[in-house]
Chains A and B, each alone.
Chain A
Amino acid sequence: MSKIKILLNGTIEQIESGSLEKILNTFAPKDRPFAVEINGEIVPSAKFSDYSIQENDKIEIISAVGGG
C-alpha cells in the first residue's frame, strides 16, 4: 500500500493511506475520549470509518487535561 505524508498534531508522519479509523487505531488514546479535527473541520466519531485520509491532511487529535 502506498505511503502518504500527513501532519499529525503538528508532526509530519508517513503513513499508509487508508481510513481515518485505521490511523486512530495507532495514534489515538485508548483510555479516554478524544475529538478529531481534519483541515480545520471537526470529524464526528460516526464518520471515522468512512473518512479517507489524503496526502497533506492536517489532523489534530484532542483530549482533556486539567485546567482552571
Chain B
Amino acid sequence: MTKSKSSQQLAVDSLKIGSQVYSSRLIVGTGKYPSEDIASKAISSSGAELVTLAIKRFSQQDDRSNILEIIGGKKLLPNTAGTLDAKEALRSAQLSRELFKTDLIKLEIISSSENLDPNMPETIKAAEMMIKNNFEVYVYCDRDLNNCLKLEDLGCVAIMPLGSSIGSGRGFDDLNDLILLRKKIGQILIVDAGIGVPSEASRIMELGYDAVLVNSAIAYANEPILMASAFKNGVKSGRKSFLAGRMSRSNKSIASSPTKFLK
C-alpha cells in the first residue's frame, strides 16, 4: 500500500526555525515550578527540545540550583523578560549571547511590571536592532496583523502572538485574530502565552500554527509532570489533525449508515 501524502509529511515533519531544526513542536518555559525536581521531570516529560529561560543579577544569597543542570541538554532560548524598551532588550540579548553562547533570543518587551502585554512600538524597534546584530529573533507580540507583518518583514524567525495574557491560562481571547494571522503570515507562527490546557494547544495546532510555547499551564498544574506529557500529546494530536485535514462542515445531517431499515 502506498503511503498517503499526509503520512509522508508526518514522517519528515521537522520544524525548522531560522538555523535550527526541531522534532518537537512544543516549547516549554522553565519558571514557576513548585520544585527543582518537578521542573526537571516535567521538562523531560514534555519532550520539548527548546526551552526558554531568563537572566538575572547573580546573588550569593540565592540558594536555587543551577537552572542549566535542571534543564539538561535542551537547546536554550533566552528571553528578554522584564525589559521595558528596545535599548534594555538589546542589552539583555547581548548578555544572554555572552552567557549562553547562542544567537537565539526570545524578544519580550512588556508594557509595565503590572501589564505584561507586549509594548509593540518598542518590540518592533528592538527586533530591527537585534536582527542588525545577527540575532535569531523569536518575537512575543500582540495579535495585530500589521504589527505581525512588520515583524515578519524585518526578518524575525518566529512570530509569537499571545493567546491571552501571560500566566492567565484563559486560552484564546480572540481566536479569529489568530486564524487571520495564520492566513496572512507565511513565517513560523507560535502561540506564546495564555494557553491553559492541552486541548487549546491542540486546537491552535489544528489551525496550522507551527508550535506552541507553554510554561504556567504546566508549572501550575496539580501534577506538572503529567500535564507536561498531556501537552506533548495534545500538540502532536493537533499537528496530525492539521496534516490530515478536517472534513468539510455541513448544515444538514449526512448519513454514515443506510437510512432505510433493511432496504
Contact = CB atoms under 8 A, between A and B. Distances in A.
Nearest to A10: B57
A65 B167 CA distance: 17
A27 B59 CA distance: 8
Contact of A34 (B39, B78, B99, B193): B99
A38 B54 CA distance: 20
A16 interface: no
| Main SS at interface, chain B | mixed
Contacts of A34: 58, 99
A66 B53 contact: yes
B2 to A, nearest CB: 43
Nearest to A44: B98
A22 to B, nearest CB: 16
A10 B166 CA distance: 28
Interface residues of A, number: 23
A28 B54 CA distance: 18
Interface string A18-46: 00000000011101111101001010100
Contact of B166 (A9, A29, A61, A68): A68
B33 interface: yes
Given A33-B99, A35-B98, A37-B95, A64 B67 contact: yes
Interface string A37-68: 10010101000000000000000111111111
A44 B94 CA distance: 11
B67 to A, nearest CB: 5
Interface string B210-254: 000101100000000000000000000000000000000000000
Given A29-B58, A60-B57, A63-B99, 15 more contacts: A28-B58, A37-B91, A64-B55, A64-B100, A65-B53, A66-B29, A66-B53, A67-B29, A67-B53, A67-B81, A68-B52, A68-B79, A68-B81, A68-B166, A68-B215
14 contacts: A32-B67, A32-B68, A35-B95, A42-B98, A44-B98, A61-B58, A64-B56, A64-B78, A64-B100, A66-B30, A66-B31, A67-B31, A67-B79, A68-B213
Interface of B: 29-33, 39, 52-60, 64, 66-70, 78-79, 81, 91, 94-95, 98-100, 166-167, 193, 213, 215-216
